[in-house]
């Protein structure tokens, strides 16, 4: 399965997508659907082609913001997970607050941050960090505690310190967990960046989206959505690719399991 | 092994209980074991008799209820980082190379990184594994992994090596081969070894002395000095005395009771 060439794995979803677009196009023509209600894929493509330079400019802005958010979220998530792992007493105190922080709606948090920190970059980065750290921190924290007991026992027997155990065993063993958190953070970051731009910005695909909505350019709105989804998929793919590189030993076969 | 050779490891009057269903369950009952400098001592006992527990106490991972651990003549009860250890499973880290695995353990023991890596590579070459020094352990066979694991324990700059049923997971053929290999390696270097096994033949083939343990709660049923000369012949098992000792130990384990009290 995993050894099939990329194009053989890619064609079934690609064919499904094409079929979906064809049906959409046909439905728009057959039922004469008003383009202000639901534009046809062809209309959307035309509009995107026309607006390409502008979309490119805004997309680059969103990408930059989202990547800064991923960087900050990843750093905050790793630091928090390691700290809570090494200090279990703090963990039980802090955990409820961390979980609660994830339940504050973005549409409340965003405007509040704007009030506190103005309209610059700061509130946006704070928003992105708040959204981005959680998946990384929580899956990494789970992973750090789940390293193989045999290897843990071995390190204890030879007198490894807490730090050595973290460095040599727990951290490498929890990389798969870190990456599943990162993949979620990456996609959240793009949508959060759009929300932040929607709240107040002069650049970014979120800003573009609001502008087109206000101008009733529904085909452009669809175009923006397509760009956002594509950006999410692209960043997700990048994270998956990094994961394969970072966890190189998975490809070398299953080690440590044989006697 | 003369009577003046100093003890490297002493377990004196060790008792240990675990809680099981809320009730105390005694695993070790006043067990005393001593290993002299350069001596190969084996613990032979039925499954569940507390041999691994004894190792965890030696390694300082757990504390005894009563008794004392002394390593290199100094009190070491509950102190970690004083032994080299070879566990039942090879327990190699899949994200490190073979040489990296050995070097990491040496580094934890305080050897500088460069030196650790150089000595890992040198010794891998000596046991004919230089070709896989840069590979990840996942590509090694079970027997090769055990050799690496043994080398890792051997190179630790520690007074005592503790080997916990290192060959239990191997097939019979590989196991015999590994015993001979271990014997050659050890006879060259003569480290103080505490070895755990289920196998009477393995114990008689390798050891200078054997402690036979009873089923839980474990007591020392008998201490046996193995009379065969060093370096040990590969075919000691053909010696009539070998069969006799084997029969003795088997009977001892069957009765599960001490005749030495
Ligand atoms: N942490 C623990 N808590 C409770 N009971 C334990 C614990 N560790 C070991 N035991 C019990 O102590 C007894 C001895 O276990 P141990 O692993 O030392 O046996 P062993 O002689 O090494 O057996 P084997 O030869 O099968 O490896 C067993 O009955 C086991 O269930
Ligand atoms: Mg055991």
pLDDT at B31: 95
Residue A211 maps to a domain: yes
- Distance, CA of A63 to CA of A190 (rounded, Å): 7
Strand partners, B70: B10, B75
* Number of separate domains in chain A: 1
B60 in reach of chain A (CB within 8 A)? yes
CB atoms within 10 A of CB B11: 23
- Rg (alpha carbons) of chain A, rounded to whole number: 23
Q: What pLDDT, in 10s, does the model give residues B21-71?
A: 889 999 999 999 999 999 999 999 988 889 999 999 999 999 999 999 999
- Distance, CA of A80 to CA of A46 (rounded, Å): 47
Q: Is the pLDDT of residue A2 over 70?
A: no
Q: How far is B90 from chain A (nearest CA, A)?
A: 6
A169 in reach of chain B (CB within 8 A)? yes
Residue A224 maps to a domain: yes
Residue B225's SS3 state is strand
Residue A38 maps to a domain: no
- Distance, CA of A123 to CA of A113 (rounded, Å): 5
Ligand 2 centroid – CA B61 distance (Å): 15
Ligand 1 centroid – CA B16 distance (Å): 11
Residue A259 maps to a domain: no
Contacts of A169 in chain B (CB under 8 A): 93
Residue A13 maps to a domain: no
Return the axis-axis angle of helices A205-214 and A175-199, rounded to nearest 10°: 40
- Give the CATH number for residue A163: 1.10.3720.10
Residue B34's SS3 state is strand
- Distance, CA of A168 to CA of A183 (rounded, Å): 24
Q: Which domain holds residue A200?
A: 51-251
pLDDT at A5: 73
Residue A91 maps to a domain: yes
Q: Which atom of ligand 1 is nearest the CA belonging to B19?
A: 4
Ligand 1 centroid – CA B51 distance (Å): 8
Q: Is the pLDDT of residue B260 over 60?
A: no
Residue A14 maps to a domain: no
Residue A40 maps to a domain: no
Please check whether residue B167 is in contact with residue B108, taking contact to mean a CB–CB distance below 8 angstroms.
Answer: no
Contacts of A150 in chain B (CB under 8 A): 87, 89, 91
Instruction: Average the pLDDT over A100-118 and give the result.
Output: 89
pLDDT band at B143; cut points 50, 70, 90: confident
Nearest ligand to the C-alpha atom of residue B57: 1
Q: What pLDDT, in 10s, does the model give residues A54-71?
A: 999 999 999 999 999 999
Instruction: Average the pLDDT over B209-223 and give the result.
Output: 92
């Amino acid at each position: 399965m995993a050894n099939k060439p990329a194009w053989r794995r890619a064609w079934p979803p690609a064919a499904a997508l094409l079929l979906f677009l064809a049906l959409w196009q046909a439905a728009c023509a057959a039922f004469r659907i008003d383009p202000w209600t639901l534009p046809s894929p062809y209309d959307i493509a035309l509009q995107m082609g026309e607006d390409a330079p502008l979309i490119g400019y805004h997309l680059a802005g969103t990408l930059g913001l989202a990547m800064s958010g991923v960087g900050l979220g990843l750093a905050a998530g790793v630091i928090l997970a390691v700290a809570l792992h090494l200090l279990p007493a703090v963990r039980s105190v802090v955990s409820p607050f961390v979980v609660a922080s994830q339940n504050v709606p973005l549409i409340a948090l965003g405007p509040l941050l704007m009030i506190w920190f103005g309209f610059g970059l700061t509130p946006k980065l704070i928003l992105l960090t708040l959204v981005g750290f959680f998946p990384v921190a929580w899956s990494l924290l789970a992973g750090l505690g789940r390293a193989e007991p045999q290897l843990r026992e071995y390190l204890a027997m030879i007198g490894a310190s807490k730090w050595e155990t973290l460095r040599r065993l727990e951290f490498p063993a929890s990389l798969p967990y870190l990456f599943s958190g990162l993949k979620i953070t990456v996609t959240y970051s793009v949508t959060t960046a759009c929300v932040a731009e929607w709240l107040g910005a002069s650049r970014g695909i979120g800003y573009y989206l609001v502008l087109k909505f206000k101008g009733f350019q529904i085909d452009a709105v669809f175009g923006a959505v397509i760009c956002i989804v594509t950006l999410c998929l692209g960043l997700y793919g990048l994270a998956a690719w990094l994961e394969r590189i970072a966890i190189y030993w998975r490809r070398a076969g299953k080690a440590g399991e044989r006697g | 092994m003369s009577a003046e050779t100093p003890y490297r490891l002493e377990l004196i009057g060790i008792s240990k209980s675990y809680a099981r269903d809320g009730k105390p369950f005694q695993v070790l009952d006043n067990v005393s074991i001593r290993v002299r400098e350069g001596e190969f001592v084996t613990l032979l006992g039925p499954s569940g008799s507390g041999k691994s527990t004894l190792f965890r106490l030696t390694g300082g991972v757990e504390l005894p209820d009563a008794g004392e651990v002394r390593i290199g003549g100094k009190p070491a009860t509950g102190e970690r980082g004083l032994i080299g250890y070879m566990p039942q499973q090879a327990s190699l880290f899949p994200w490190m190379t073979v040489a990296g695995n050995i070097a990491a353990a040496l580094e934890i023991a305080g050897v500088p990184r460069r030196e650790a890596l150089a000595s890992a590579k040198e010794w891998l070459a000596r046991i004919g594994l230089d070709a896989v020094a840069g590979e990840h352990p996942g590509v090694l066979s079970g027997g090769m992994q055990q050799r690496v694991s043994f080398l890792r324990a051997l190179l630790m700059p520690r007074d005592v090596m503790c080997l916990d049923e290192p060959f239990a997971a191997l097939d019979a053929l590989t196991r015999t081969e590994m015993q001979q290999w271990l014997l050659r390696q050890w006879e060259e270097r003569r480290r103080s070894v505490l070895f755990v096994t289920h196998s009477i033949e393995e114990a008689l083939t390798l050891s200078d002395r054997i402690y036979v343990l009873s089923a839980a709660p474990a007591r020392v049923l008998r201490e046996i000095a193995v009379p065969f000369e060093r370096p040990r012949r590969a075919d000691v098992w053909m010696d009539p005395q070998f069969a006799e000792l084997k029969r003795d130990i088997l009977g001892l384990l069957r009765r599960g009771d001490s005749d030495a009290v």
